Amino acid sequence: MTDARAETRIGPNDILRFFLELFAFVSLGIWGFMAFPLPWPGLLVGLGAPALAILVWALFVSPKSVFHIDVFGKALVEIAVFSSAAIGWWMLGQPVVGVVFAVIAAVSGILNGRKQLA
């Protein structure tokens, strides 16, 4: 009997994807606080947007997700979270940050999808 943890290998793309997730969640918080006036709309969106993204990620995409969906469903959730973070940067007047993040996330997602489908 083999241990499941012994078979799991973490590669460079997995580490990059982790940091992309964190960057997306932080980006949504920054967007919420900066794009809406404080205290109430900004506070609500600044805390609610990353909380919703973390909840959706935990339910569908994380390795210990509650709902097990196929690779394409996970990709759709990932695209929604990452593109909302990129759009948030665009709305804040930082299109370069948004485009660079979107390109890196897309390449990482394609590499991950190819690995999962292989």
pLDDT tens sequence across 39-72: 889 999 999 999 999 999 999 999 899 999 999 9
pTM of the model: 0.89
Residue whose token pair is 């695209």: 79
The token pair at 103 is 């390109």
Helix, strand, or coil here: 94? coil
Q: How much is the average pLDDT of 74-101? A: 97
